[in-house]
Structure 1
Amino acid sequence: MKQVIKRWLPRVIVLAIVAGGAAFLWIKKPWASKPAEITFNTVQVSKGTIAAQVTANGTLSAKGTVQVGAQVSGRVVELHADFNDKVKKGQIIAKLDESVLKAQIDQAQAAYDLAVANLKKSQVTANDAKRQLARQKSLQEQQLVAGATVEQYEVSLETAEAQITASRASISQASANLKQAKTNLGYATIYSPVDGVVLSRAVELGQTVASSLQAPTLFTIAEDLAFMQIDTSVAEGDVGRLKEGMKATFTVDAFPGKNFEGTVRQVRNSAAPGVTATSGVVTYDAVIDVENKELALRPGMTANVTFVLDKVEDAIKIPNAALRFKPSREQMMALFEKFGGGRRGSGAGSGRRGRGGGELGSGAAG
């Protein structure tokens, strides 16, 4: 018996201490002596513009861009246009060395002359074959030659006439080659195909350009920089909210703090290239027309675009955080006691929401 008491006594003492401490804390209730303090932030209700928006990034580019290339190979001997130069349609902007092309014309001309001479020769041969055949037929009537001899002269005449046909075909081919050689000589002078501004020049004086399978690009010309466009990448979750004719604003890093305006011309149906199975990011191209009469904007600039989905002028504005606030019962009672009056438990109803705040709707507390 003594051993049992000795073994359980320490445990009983510990339990008694714990129970006594719990009872003491319960009676004192130190947390009840100071009621919980509830704090709130208040803001002044204001009036202003509320706009629902979608943001995206894009790149400025000219609406019409023409790449000017060389259709023949040769060394650049003249350059008449440089970066940012304004050019007119039909203006000479570069020339290639013509010496090789002129030599090709001489060769084509010689081949043509030879073909003409061969035709005349074939015609003479054919006329002679006709005379010989007529003479042999006359002798056959007099039974002076055999029929086989006459047949041989007939074959000679047919051969001569076939040679005439071949000579005429050679003339046609030589004429086409001569025409092509003259055309190639014309390609050595490079003209601007449009009125515009030179965006880039990819050739230097003295450089040799090779036109084999694909014409090398020498110049890139923008037709008119007074009217540009922005190709934006809009997330698939937002693209359904965009419509043609919708207004958009954008900024560029070159002019911080300045807003430019544009109009949505097209929202393309196909997803933009670059979607990967790993990222899963799908975007669509929304094309925006932009007026650039001051020529401040330049192709290649990055535009931070904001599409204006809806806009309300002179709306009663409250912070969006207030529209998301859901107070507990204790917080509601504290609010009621602090400010008094009003409809107990009624929250602020919201109208349109946008960047910078929301519109106070018909559910506002009175």
Structure 2
Amino acid sequence: MALTAEEAAVAQNAYSPKSRRWLVPVIIGLAAAAFAGVEIYRFVNKGAGVRYLTQQVTRGPVVKAVTTSGTVNPVITVQVGTYVSGVIQARYCDYNTRVRKGQVCAKIDPRPYQVVVDQDKATLGVGRAQMVKDQADLTYAKIAYDRNRRLAATKSVSLDVLDASKSALDRATAQIGLDEATIALQEAQLRAAEINLGYTDIVSPVDGTVVSRSVEMGQTVAASFQTPTLFLVATDLTTMQVDTNVSESDIGAIRRGHRATFTVESFPNRTFSGEVTEVRQSPQTIQNVVTYDVVVGTSNGDLVLKPGMTATTRVIVDERRDVLRIPDQAFRYQPGAIPGLASAPPQLDGSGGVRLWVLRDGAPKMEVIIPGLDDDSFTEVLKGDLRAGDQIIVGEEAAP
């Protein structure tokens, strides 16, 4: 059927280039809307082909801690060494021996030092005898000088004789001073020899328990350059400490008084408790990592902890009790069905909230929460529409 002139003009205008320019965006918009509708339908009905992995929202503690390793040591360990050299003549203490302050643990052969003491005593005796002789000479010099002074007054002797007697008196007086100084020196030498003789007895300076010994009978010890350590005495094994190395990234959170727990390999099922007693300022570099020594004090009343044990220590730096908490896996889950959500950051802009997905009535629902303390396993929920018992989505898998 032929078109009229008016109908042909309308049809020509509809398919002109100018009219096609506004048709293109309309068609693209309709296609995008149709695609989004299909995807939303898929997401809502996703349960038909996907099984969600969930964990419960619970109430409980959230404990943030710093985990490190260390060594169990006595609080005070005293090194018992020797000041003099010689041969070990006797040994009276062994490992685990309970000792008292002043108790003899070993003895060095005293004979060489006894000989020195005897020699110094004899020398001191000679000096004192010499002083007695010189005192007699002084007495005679005084008498001679007094006699010559009286005779010189009557001109019975010459002045030269008087001067000679005066000189003899002065020399005798000076000799007494020299004898006194010599005797003082000899007495000091004798005291030094007696002290060295006393050092042949190796005694414990404190009450405690011998935890180590490095000496045997007949062994020669030399104290010429460095005092050798013969025994290690722990003052009290009922109180121990764990010396731990904490990296510089974690040391800022640790304070004196923080609670701590630790385990040792000998008792893997037992957890020991303690408290941070000291955070030392001296840095140590271990494999290019700067660490600091954190001391954890603990009680050892049953003496099960031994010096040198390796301890895995957990220092509690912050804690929340009986709070609403969610597992950290929930923060890593993002549904990928709706375009754009898979790449969306979990942190909402400007609000401090985090997107999470909760399974309600068999379908996922997005919730926004304000997180609090995180202990790497659970995170405290400060604010959000969550309750204990809610099933929070942590993953998904294909339904069987």
TM-score by length of 2: 0.74
Report the equivalent of 1:132.
Answer: 144
Mapped contact 1:51–1:308 kept (Cα < 8 A): yes
C-alpha offsets along residues 241-293 of structure 1, whole Å, 9 cap, x if unaligned?
1122111011122222321111011222x2423368xx3x2222221111111
After superposition, residues 208-247 of structure 1 pair within 5 angstroms as: 208-247=220-259
Mapped contact 2:101–2:207 kept (Cα < 8 A): yes
Residues of 1 paired with 2:69 and 2:163: CA distance? 87
The Cα of 1:87 is off from its aligned counterpart by 1.6
Of the three residues 347, 355, 358, the one matched with 2:368 is 347
C-alpha offsets along residues 126-150 of structure 1, whole Å, 9 cap, x if unaligned?
1222222233334423434432332
AA aligned opposite 2:372: G
- Aligned residues between the structures: 331
Of the three residues 57, 67, 74, the one matched with 1:55 is 67
Of the three residues 149, 153, 169, the one matched with 2:161 is 149
Residues of 1 paired with 2:267 and 2:314: CA distance? 16
AA aligned opposite 1:246: H
Report the equivalent of 1:356.
Answer: 377
2:310 paired with 1:302: yes
What is the Cα-based RMSD across aligned positions, in Å? Answer: 3.2
Residues of 2 paired with 1:311 and 1:338: CA distance? 29
Residues of 2 paired with 1:352 and 1:141: CA distance? 111
Mapped contact 1:251–1:304 kept (Cα < 8 A): yes
The Cα of 1:153 is off from its aligned counterpart by 1.9
Residues of 1 paired with 2:89 and 2:222: CA distance? 14
Residues of 2 paired with 1:47 and 1:257: CA distance? 26
Unpaired runs of 5+ in structure 1? 1-31
C-alpha offsets along residues 46-74 of structure 1, whole Å, 9 cap, x if unaligned?
44432111112222111111111122222
- Residue 147 to residue 347, structure 1, CA distance change in 2 (3 Å): same
Unpaired runs of 5+ in structure 2? 1-37, 343-355, 388-400
2:125 paired with 1:113: yes
Mapped contact 2:106–2:202 kept (Cα < 8 A): yes
Report the equivalent of 1:330.
Answer: 338
Identity of aligned residues (%): 37
Report the equivalent of 2:107.
Answer: 95
Of the three residues 322, 329, 336, the one matched with 1:321 is 329
C-alpha offsets along residues 168-209 of structure 1, whole Å, 9 cap, x if unaligned?
111122222222322322222222222211111111101122
- Residue 235 to residue 338, structure 1, CA distance change in 2 (3 Å): closer
Residues of 1 paired with 2:386 and 2:257: CA distance? 38
Mapped contact 1:342–1:365 kept (Cα < 8 A): no
Of the three residues 185, 193, 203, the one matched with 1:173 is 185
- Residue 210 to residue 316, structure 1, CA distance change in 2 (3 Å): same
Helix, strand or coil for the counterpart of 1:101?
helix
Residues of 1 paired with 2:119 and 2:191: CA distance? 12
C-alpha offsets along residues 96-119 of structure 1, whole Å, 9 cap, x if unaligned?
212112211110110111011110
Residues of 2 paired with 1:303 and 1:343: CA distance? 45
Name the structure with the higher strand share: 2
Mapped contact 1:98–1:188 kept (Cα < 8 A): yes
Report the equivalent of 1:83.
Answer: 95
C-alpha offsets along residues 296-346 of structure 1, whole Å, 9 cap, x if unaligned?
111122211111123334444432021344556717999999856999643
The Cα of 1:162 is off from its aligned counterpart by 0.3
2:276 paired with 1:264: yes
Mapped contact 1:50–1:317 kept (Cα < 8 A): yes
The Cα of 1:220 is off from its aligned counterpart by 0.7
250-259 or 207-216, which moves further after superposition? Answer: 207-216
AA aligned opposite 2:295: V
